[in-house]
């Protein structure tokens, strides 16, 4: 199963919106073939492994397949993987975790068992769920896994008071940030960051065959039509209201404007997350300013903080997030450290909403 998880990791940047899945086919202690999920419309892991076995002249009848996710049982962009395993004569299937997709949700296992195949589940389940944390979030909560990236000094500064922020962290940290961009389905920022930095918000530091969707929160739809984040079209812009000609100009350039007001004249952030879930966004990567960061955190939209901490002090500076002044520590937003790692001269901290961490540890 660990080999199957390594196969699944090959799907990290390409599988979305599908889950990242790996498959290893074994018989009499010999690995006959391995496979992983390819881009949407191409082979899933099981089909890829069977294809690779056939190409190598390996006979898989009577073999065992180790799969990191329950084989699908429905016709989507590709045929059902459960049927492919049955047709190939696989005798036993070992599955890391069941699929929360309502179109599968146990029916893949049932189909295999009805065909007389022995099925074992729950092997390295936690690792398999982590591999597809965004997919499970979308299937079980109707919204993506939301990861907020912040580059900060030791004293919590993210930019000087004059707005200067390039660069607080080292080049290795910035390159690592692009790895997280690349594995995300979408990158979200706010109009403040667009106006201040005019970012491209794409993946440049590493090779990738797929660029994440770009998203801007711009309540009053004030974005400059020449902003770099709009280049090439395809950007989603969430606003509260706008004139028809403003919307038309942006949409004529290939972008999409989505009006999603809350009762306070702002973009409804909670509903935005569910809208992204409906649009098949599994993992959302946020790179925004301290105002939008604060709003997202206060709205309970952030699942994970991805903080690059530089060994420097900025003194008076803009902070990580614009949060209200508390009078009771019980009201603080609490996170649980998930990972601490050196990246170049900086530290990469990953911290998760403590309520999610507690649910995970209790098996929910």
Token pair for 175: 């390159």
> Of the listed 34, 46, 283, 287, which one is catalytic?
46
8 A C-beta contact, residue 70 and residue 106: yes
Is 140 among the catalytic positions? no
HSE toward the beta carbon, residue 123, CA cutoff 13 A: 17
* HEC assignment per residue over the chain: CHHHHHHHHCCCCCCCCCCCCEEEEEECCEEEEEEECCCCCCCCHHHHHHHHHHHCCCCCCCCEEEECCCCCCCCCCCCCHHHHHHHHCCCEEEECCCCCCCCCCCHHHHHHHHCCCEEEECCCHHHHHHHCHHHHHHHHHCCCEEEEEEEECCCCCCEECCCCCCCCCCHHHHHHHHHHHHHCCEEEEEHHHHHHHCCCCCCCCCCCCCCCEEEEECCCCCCCCCCHHHCCCCCEEEECCCCHHHHHHHHHCCCEEEECECCCCCECHHHHHHHHHHCCCCEEEECCCHHHHHHHHHCCCCCEEEEEECCCCCCCEECCCCCCCCCCHHHCCCEEEEEEEEECCEEEEEEEEHHHHHHHHCCC
Q: Rg of the chain's alpha carbons, rounded to an integer?
A: 22
- Which of the residues are catalytic? 46
């Amino acid at each position: 199963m660990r080999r199957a998880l390594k196969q699944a990791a090959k799907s990290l940047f390409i599988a979305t919106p599908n889950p990242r899945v790996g498959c290893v086919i074994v018989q009499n202690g010999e690995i006959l073939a391995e496979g992983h999920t390819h881009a949407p419309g191409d082979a899933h892991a099981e089909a890829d492994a069977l294809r690779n076995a056939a190409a190598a002249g390996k006979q898989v009848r009577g073999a065992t397949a180790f799969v990191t996710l329950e084989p699908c049982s429905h016709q989507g962009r590709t045929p059902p993987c459960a049927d492919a395993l049955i047709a190939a004569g696989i005798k036993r299937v070992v599955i890391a975790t069941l699929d929360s997709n309502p179109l599968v949700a146990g029916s893949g296992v049932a189909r295999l068992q009805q065909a007389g195949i022995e099925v074992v589940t729950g092997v390295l389940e936690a690792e398999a769920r982590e591999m597809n944390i965004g997919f499970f979030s979308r299937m079980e909560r109707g919204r993506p896994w939301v990861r907020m990236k912040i580059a900060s000094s030791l004293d919590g500064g993210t930019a000087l008071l004059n707005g200067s922020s390039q660069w607080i962290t080292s080049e290795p940290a910035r390159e690592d940030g692009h790895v997280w961009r690349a594995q995300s389905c979408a990158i979200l920022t706010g109009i403040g960051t667009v106006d201040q930095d005019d970012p491209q918000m794409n993946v440049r530091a590493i090779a990738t065959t797929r660029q994440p969707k770009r998203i801007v929160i711009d309540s009053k739809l004030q974005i400059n039509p020449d902003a770099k984040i709009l280049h090439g079209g395809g950007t989603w812009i969430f606003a509260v209201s706008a004139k028809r000609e403003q919307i038309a100009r942006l949409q004529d350039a290939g972008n999409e404007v989505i009006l999603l007001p809350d009762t306070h004249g702002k973009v409804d952030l909670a509903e935005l997350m569910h809208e992204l879930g409906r649009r098949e966004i599994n993992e959302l990567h946020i790179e925004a300013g301290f105002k939008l960061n604060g709003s997202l955190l206060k709205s309970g939209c952030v699942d994970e903080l991805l903080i690059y901490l530089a060994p420097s002090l900025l003194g008076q500076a803009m902070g990580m997030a614009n949060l209200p002044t508390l009078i009771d520590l019980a009201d603080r937003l609490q996170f649980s450290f998930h990972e601490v790692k050196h990246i170049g001269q900086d530290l990469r901290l990953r911290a998760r909403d403590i309520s999610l961490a507690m649910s995970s540890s209790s098996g929910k």
